[in-house]
């Protein structure tokens, strides 16, 4: 049987009716497909005249369904994972953290409120800042932002008299630091 005739037998080769893209001959023989080609409806052909290899995309109803399933499954799994990560890691979290937030709430209820450490952190005394401390920090070239943060978060004990402010200004202390000291000393009263 010549190579150019079309056969209908299941064991015989199948030919494409479209011409080869390289030589134009209508002698494209279909080759066996790999799994990935089957999943994406790709059909490999080889030209019997010029040995050109081509892969053609043919869409069928079942091919569309396969593509939708291939895309929908991973996307759906990612959405479910993002929406409720507890479904996938709940058992590991409970054993690693001893029950997580629920265990902490039970421990607080049993102990009658806050733990000793939590009470200590709440009642931790604030450091006291004075003119000498600010001047020492400025002379050691600690940044103005750091000094301002320390002024905001400490208990003020500043001398904001005219002579003290002149002394700080002569030492080169930034005006924003002096203003923060004045504000802190008057808001504490």
pLDDT tens for 31-79 read 888 888 887 778 899 998 898 989 888 777 777 787 788 888 888 888 8
Q: Of 27, 24, 18, whose CA–CA distance to 58 is shortest?
A: 18
What average pLDDT score do residues 164-173 get?
A: 92
> Mean pLDDT over all residues of the chain?
78
| Domain 13-58 CATH assignment equals 2.30.40 | no
pLDDT over 80 at 189, yes or no: no
Cα distance between residue 77 and residue 64, in whole Å? 20
Sheet holding 28-30, edge to edge: 28-30, 42-47, 53-57
What average pLDDT score do residues 25-31 get?
A: 86
Question: In the prediction, which pLDDT does 161 show?
Answer: 92
Q: Of 166, 160, 156, 159, whose CA–CA distance to 189 is shortest?
A: 156
The predicted model scores a pTM of 0.36
What torsion do the CA atoms of 82, 87, 90, 92 make, to the nearest 10 degrees? -80
Helices (H), the chain: 35-39, 61-83, 86-97, 101-111, 116-122, 131-139, 144-153, 162-170, 175-187
Measured from the Cβ of residue 136, the count of other Cβ atoms closer than 10 Å reads 11
pLDDT over 80 at 167, yes or no: yes
- What are 28's strand-pairing partners? 47
Task: Kindly state the tokens that stand for 134.
Answer: 């600010």
What is the per-residue pLDDT across 79-112, written as a single tens digit (0 to 9) for each?
887 777 666 665 544 444 445 667 667 766 676 6
Question: In the prediction, which pLDDT does 178 show?
Answer: 93
Question: In the prediction, which pLDDT does 101 show?
Answer: 64
What average pLDDT score do residues 113-128 get?
A: 67
pLDDT band at residue 1, thresholds of 50, 70 and 90?
A: very low
């Amino acid at each position: 049987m010549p190579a150019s005739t079309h056969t209908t037998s299941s064991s015989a080769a199948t030919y494409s009716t479209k011409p080869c893209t390289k030589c134009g001959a209508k002698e494209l023989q279909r080759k066996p497909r790999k799994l990935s080609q089957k999943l994406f409806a790709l059909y490999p052909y080889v030209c019997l005249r010029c040995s050109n290899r081509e892969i053609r995309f043919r869409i069928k109803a079942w091919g569309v369904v396969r593509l939708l399933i291939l895309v929908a499954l991973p996307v759906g799994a990612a959405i479910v994972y993002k929406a409720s990560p507890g479904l996938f890691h709940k058992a590991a979290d409970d054993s690693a953290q001893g029950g997580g937030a629920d265990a902490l709430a039970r421990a607080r209820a049993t102990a009658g409120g806050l733990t000793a450490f939590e009470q200590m952190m709440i009642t931790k005394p604030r450091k006291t800042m004075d003119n000498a401390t600010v001047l020492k920090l400025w002379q050691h070239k600690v940044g103005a932002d750091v000094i301002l943060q320390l002024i905001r978060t400490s208990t003020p004990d500043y001398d904001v008299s005219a002579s003290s402010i002149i002394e700080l200004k002569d030492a080169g202390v930034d005006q924003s630091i002096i203003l923060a000291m004045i504000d802190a000393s008057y808001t504490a009263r």
